[in-house]
Structure 1
Amino acid sequence: MSRSLLSHLLAIPNSSPRITTSALSLSYQTNPGSILKRNPQCAFRCCSSVVNSQPEALSSTPPVKKRVVSGVQPTGALHLGNYLGAIRNWISLQDTYETLFFIVDLHAITLPYEALQLSKATRDTAAIYLACGIDISKASVFVQSHVRAHLELMWLLSSSTPIGWLNRMIQFKEKSRNAGDDNVGVALLTYPVLMAADILLYQSDFVPVGDDQKQHLELTRQLAERVNNMYGGRKWKKLGGRGGSIFKIPEPLIPPTGARVMSLTDGLSKVIANKIKRCKTDSFTGLEFDNPDRPECNNLLCIYQLVSGKTKEEVVLECQGMSWGSFKPLITDALVAHLQPIQMRYEEIMSEPSYLDGVLSEGAAKATGIADATLNNVYQAMGFLRQ
């Protein structure tokens, strides 16, 4: 295996994986990485949203699927936690919902970044989506900046967003305090408005969120209600619109808890083994879930459960009497077995750039059709003269 994908999966962060949805993880996960076959079967947390895509179906037609929109940032390293907490969950979502998954490259520039790496990281991330099991016959994959409606709606929403709402955002306070005012761009303050645009653009019903993104989702909900009250209803109807609400009010969707883990980049088995060997352990006897005094133990058992496909009860029976010396080779082998097919698929995808370009182009076209319908309604309700 090459180093490019598995090292993205193998670096140990200090916090739980976040979900993003810019509509989405709208916790935005960071990530570059890497796999091909047009029928992804592998599985691995940005943000997802759910929406009714068309009027309620007649009894003679299939049930209408709700829509899920979710995304991951193309910067930093794609952690195993991102995979286990977000992307892996997307695999099952695409069988139940109409799904759109995108790379939130516009969010990647809110803090200093390497311009030369952005394009490459974006392609790598898209390839990882497919490698991990996103099936383009069921889901659309696209790049955020390829759908211009994201930026247009952000500007329109900005006119209705009180500055006090943004000043209260905890992440802005923390990051600006650490970097200093002279090193912080306006985008760091206003990116929650872009997140709101990401969600509202696709009329999302639900948004999977991590703990650090709940405040941003609440701002999105408040902003949707504010715009609906300011411009919707009879006011919109007088301008020739349908009236009623312009935006759906999204609800939070809490994903299954993922493990706090490693970045997924270096592909060699020995890299995985070295990472696992360096994982912090404790001096307790035996292994157990859910002991608040043993967070490292719970974390590694959760990883093993997820990559082995076993139930929690099966893992308890198998591992409760084990020492760390016995358990670490076990989880290492399970990780290697789980990640190798993804690595192979990533390499196939990256070897066919025209295929990946086609996937992204097709995904952006579908997303643009949905987004433009929402955007045109907003322009109309806000009173703009249209061409």
Structure 2
Amino acid sequence: MTRVFSGIQPTGEPHIGNYFGAMRNYVRLGQQYGSDAIYCIVDLHAPTNPAAYDPATLARLTFEMALANMAVGLDPEQVIFFVQSQVREHTELSWLLTVNTPLGELERMTQFKDKAGKLESIPAGLLMYPVLMAADILLYKADTVPVGEDQVQHIELTREIARRFNHAYGPTFPEPRAVLEQAALRVPGVDGHAKMSKSKGESSTIGLLEPLGSIWNKVRPAPTDPARVRRSDPGNPDICLIGDYHKLFSDAQTLLEITDGCRTAGIGCIDCKKRLMPGIERELTPIQARAAELRERPETVLAGLAYGAERARAIAAPVMDEVRTRMGFLRAGARP
């Protein structure tokens, strides 16, 4: 049996990097695996990123992330889709895994070192982030985890945590594998950053639910091939973020025309950007229309999340019973 687990943080508005890198894949895997596809909005992870976490907006952003995933096509009747903090077993398992995880392994995590280097005071939660991530996965005994390249090291740690627990307390958890099917879809930021990221701010992202006029206002001044100083200079669409966006949004004929036009200086950068907009409109308009419908019926989104949490707890509770028993905790009402 294959069981898929993946989580997405609610620390910003959903953008096209989320869409192409994760959300479309969620829908595809959900259609393939049904209730064995488990997706979680990992709101407990949000406070580990002080720069992006805002308690005043966390609930709204969590709702928006749920709404966006449903608008893309994720069906809460088909998959298990819920909010992490509404299934308390995540935090319990995280603590029990924490006491068995060496400090040195956590300090070696690349993401921890990168983020810690930017902070004056390092919260312990940032160090423990990958243990909570391991608990998210192992709580459902998931064996397949779709992730980006930057999360592969965390999956390797999860495998080591599972291996260590199994050795100490008996076979309990499978060792999950990372699935990098969407690794090629590394969407660059519209401001020229190598990767579109909520942490870079709205100037870097194209929102999945952003009005088309606002998207054009970001695309129009976006950097292109720096070698194209003049309109008559040929360019290279393979090193241009607008060329990358065409590969995501444009049909084959448009892609062929802009690629040839760029290399021969037959088309200018602003015209290339204009040719991009119909593809963006074609892809995002149906999603935005479904999102508008769901926004008119917020109870539908909340009910889907509540149903998902109920189904998640039905899996998580017996796993936690098993973990407590293996670790030797006294069961309520039972004699030692």
TM-score strictly above 0.5: yes
Matches within 5 A, 1:342-361: 342-361=287-306
In structure 1, what is the equivalent of residue 24 of structure 2?
Answer: 88
Q: Distance in 2 between matches of 1:266 and 1:346?
A: 8
In structure 1, what is the equivalent of residue 100 of structure 2?
Answer: 160
Q: Distance in 1 between matches of 2:255 and 2:54?
A: 44
Q: Distance in 2 between matches of 1:207 and 1:154?
A: 18
Task: Give CA deviations for 1:110-139 in whole Å, capped at 9, x if unaligned.
Answer: 132221111111111110110111122321
In 2, are the aligned partners of 1:143 and 1:364 still within 8 Å (CA)? yes
* Residue 134 of structure 2 is aligned to residue 208 of structure 1: no
In 1, are the aligned partners of 2:246 and 2:255 still within 8 Å (CA)? no
* Residue 48 of structure 2 is aligned to residue 120 of structure 1: no
DSSP 3-state at the match of 2:218: helix
Amino acid at match of 1:276: V
In 2, are the aligned partners of 1:150 and 1:197 still within 8 Å (CA)? yes
Q: Distance in 2 between matches of 1:173 and 1:325?
A: 40
The structure-2 alpha-carbon separation of the partners of 1:270 and 1:353, relative to structure 1 and needing over 3 Å to count, comes to closer
Cα shift at 1:266: 6.5
Q: Residue 304 of structure 1 is aligned with which of 224, 243, 246? A: 246
RMSD: 1.8
Cα shift at 1:320: 2.3
In 2, are the aligned partners of 1:111 and 1:184 still within 8 Å (CA)? no
In structure 2, what is the equivalent of residue 285 of structure 1?
Answer: 234
The structure-2 alpha-carbon separation of the partners of 1:288 and 1:263, relative to structure 1 and needing over 3 Å to count, comes to closer
Q: Distance in 2 between matches of 1:266 and 1:210?
A: 22
Q: Distance in 1 between matches of 2:25 and 2:94?
A: 28
* Residue 259 of structure 2 is aligned to residue 320 of structure 1: yes
DSSP 3-state at the match of 1:359: helix
In 2, are the aligned partners of 1:169 and 1:215 still within 8 Å (CA)? yes
Q: Residue 217 of structure 1 is aligned with which of 151, 155, 179? A: 155
In structure 2, what is the equivalent of residue 45 of structure 1?
Answer: none
Amino acid at match of 1:86: A
Matches within 5 A, 1:23-172: 52=1, 66-97=2-33, 98-112=36-50, 113-172=53-112
In 1, are the aligned partners of 2:77 and 2:304 still within 8 Å (CA)? no
In 1, are the aligned partners of 2:138 and 2:174 still within 8 Å (CA)? yes
Cα shift at 1:67: 2.0
TM score, norm. by length of structure 2: 0.84
In 1, are the aligned partners of 2:5 and 2:146 still within 8 Å (CA)? no
Q: Distance in 2 between matches of 1:193 and 1:382?
A: 18
Q: Distance in 2 between matches of 1:110 and 1:288?
A: 38
Q: Distance in 2 between matches of 1:339 and 1:266?
A: 7
TM score, norm. by length of structure 1: 0.73
In 2, are the aligned partners of 1:111 and 1:185 still within 8 Å (CA)? no
Amino acid at match of 1:99: A
Amino acid at match of 1:147: V
Q: Distance in 2 between matches of 1:303 and 1:132?
A: 19
Matches within 5 A, 1:252-271: 252-256=178-182, 257-258=184-185, 259-261=187-189, 262-264=205-207, 267-271=210-214
Identity %: 40
Q: Distance in 2 between matches of 1:371 and 1:159?
A: 20
* Residue 129 of structure 2 is aligned to residue 191 of structure 1: yes
DSSP 3-state at the match of 2:329: coil
Task: Tell me whether 84-93 or 262-271 shows the greater mean CA deviation.
Answer: 262-271
DSSP 3-state at the match of 1:160: coil
In 2, are the aligned partners of 1:90 and 1:134 still within 8 Å (CA)? yes
Extract unaligned runs of 5+ from structure 2.
190-204, 262-266
